[in-house]
Amino acid sequence: VRRVYIHPLAHIPGPRLAAITWWYEFYFDVIQPSIFVFKIQELHKQYGPIIRITPDEIHINDVGFLGTIYAPSMSHRDKYDYILRTLQIPGAIGATVRHDIHRKRREALGPFFSRRNVLHLEPLITGKLEQLCQLITKHASEMAPINLSDALFAFSSDVTNNFLFAHQTDVLADETLAATLRQNGNDLLLGININKHFPWFPSFLDSLPLFISKPIMPPGLIDMLALFDRVRAELMGIVAAKSSGVSSEKKLGPTGKESVYHSVIDSNVLPPEEKSLLRLEQEGALLVLAGTESPAKSLNIIFYHILANSSILSKLRAELSTVPKSASWTELEKLPYLSAVLEEGNRLSFGVTARTARIADETLTYTPSPYATSPGKSYVIPPGTPMSTTTLSAHTAESVFPEPFTFDPERWLGDAGNERRKFQMAFGKGGRKCLGIELARAELYLVTAALVRVFEMELWETDESDVAFIHDYQVAMPKFESKGVRVTARIL
């Protein structure tokens, strides 16, 4: 009764059951596997642009309000600890609840992810890209199909690890390993909603002796533990080298730091507790996961659609033929059609698909904007209320993206296209938007341009259901039985 009639959110429309209990969300998260974001869109049709989706959380289906929810870093916005339980890594920047702690963590990492540093490390991306091309060439000469999803996963895993830790990992050299790691990563994500609803479960597994817990852990969790071990070893090595006074022979880039960890350990904005081994392990693990999964996902979507649509592919090739084959990232960025294809790929990749709720410490008022599906009255949002707009909601807003499920790069061209960019949420928005955006952009431009120019590829036993957004497991997942995007290739 309290939750329905006297709760501070009692005036917000929505199904009564959702206002009473979290079991409503549980049903669409776990029993119907991970389709709550789709259910939320249905509820908006019934209840209007602002709805209460759990006893203490609201969702707003109006891109005109994005700038208020995902405000710049001057405005206080906490994240919502209930949702972050999915990830179980509170020490990582992306899973930081408090606004003030987040700002310090971001300041410490910022220079390493700057455009200048990515430009300095561009040869690392082009080196891996050459290896990716060699792998596809091998398949082309054997006339054997290649699993592009596995290859792109291996590529972005290697780029991210080598970028972050200044070491050479080489998943691209082993296709079987790449397939296993990608599958394990997916399996790990399939468990995140269980973590949210039963947060004691991962801690329970952790408390058991390894010989008991290991056989019942999903393989992705075992990989995650191995990742923690690797990151810990990395850190210990840096700390030991520092205390012995041995300095690296490597030529350092604009940050003056060899790896992301050197940046964090030497940071003078972070207090000592922020440099504990556990905190830094969690930071490293999230960086690796975030940096691997998302670029590979966007590239997957981009390649599926350009291969499924020959007129888009021809237009892209024609534009690419106007620049030298060796064009750099900065030269490629000037190409409008290529940029539009990437923008559309990012839109239909849906970035982080989970609810990325923000909490303001002030009272806000929501008034439907001209972009809202239906006009309506204003609502007061009490301070401390978790509020979000999912990427499904933003990227399928028909007032901005007509025929939202069609891959249509043209919508990003010209003045109208520039105007639309403020509604692109693939990298998030505001003070907590993606930190790896420059690295991701460099990867997307260089890989798309190279593969389109070097190979004629055809989809092999792959259709739209292999890339469609069917389930939300933090990122968009297609049908469970999908094997990924597979292609046959021939050298042009």
Give the footprint of ligand HEM on this chain (CB under 6 A): 93-94, 106, 160, 287, 290-291, 294-295, 298, 346, 351-352, 356, 426-428, 432-436, 439-440
Q: What residues contact 245, with CB distance under 8 A and at least 6 apart?
A: none
> CA 456, CA 211: separation in Å to the nearest integer?
49
Q: Which is nearer to ligand HEM, 299 or 489 (CB)?
A: 299
Q: What residues contact 412, with CB distance under 8 A and at least 6 apart?
A: 339, 340, 343, 344, 420, 421
Q: Which is nearer to ligand HEM, 439 or 452 (CB)?
A: 439
- How far from the centroid of its chain's Cα atoms is residue 134's Cα? 27
Q: Which is nearer to ligand HEM, 179 or 447 (CB)?
A: 447
Please list the alpha-helical segments (H only) found in 350-484: 391-395, 414-420, 437-454
> CA 132, CA 136: separation in Å to the nearest integer?
6
Q: CB nearest ligand HEM: which residue?
A: 436
Q: Based on the number of CB atoms within 10 Å of its own CB, is 209 exposed (0-12), middle (13-18) or buried (19 or more)?
A: exposed
Cβ atoms within 10 Å of 151's Cβ, excluding its own: 26
* Smallest gap from residue 72 Cβ to ligand HEM (A): 12
Q: What residues contact 467, with CB distance under 8 A and at least 6 apart?
A: 300, 301, 304, 305, 348, 478, 485
* Smallest gap from residue 20 Cβ to ligand HEM (A): 27
Q: Which is nearer to ligand HEM, 139 or 420 (CB)?
A: 420
* Smallest gap from residue 437 Cβ to ligand HEM (A): 7
* Smallest gap from residue 140 Cβ to ligand HEM (A): 26
The tokens describing 296, both together, are 């590979």
> CA 421, CA 189: separation in Å to the nearest integer?
29
* Smallest gap from residue 100 Cβ to ligand HEM (A): 13
Q: Which is nearer to ligand HEM, 94 or 386 (CB)?
A: 94
Query: Each residue of 14-36: b (16+ CB within 10 Å) or e?
Result: beeebbbebebbbebbbeeebbb
* Smallest gap from residue 42 Cβ to ligand HEM (A): 23
Question: Do residues 387 and 358 touch, judged by C-beta distance below 8 A?
Answer: yes
Q: Based on the number of CB atoms within 10 Å of its own CB, is 233 exposed (0-12), middle (13-18) or buried (19 or more)?
A: exposed
* Smallest gap from residue 21 Cβ to ligand HEM (A): 25
Q: Which is nearer to ligand HEM, 14 or 291 (CB)?
A: 291
* Smallest gap from residue 349 Cβ to ligand HEM (A): 6
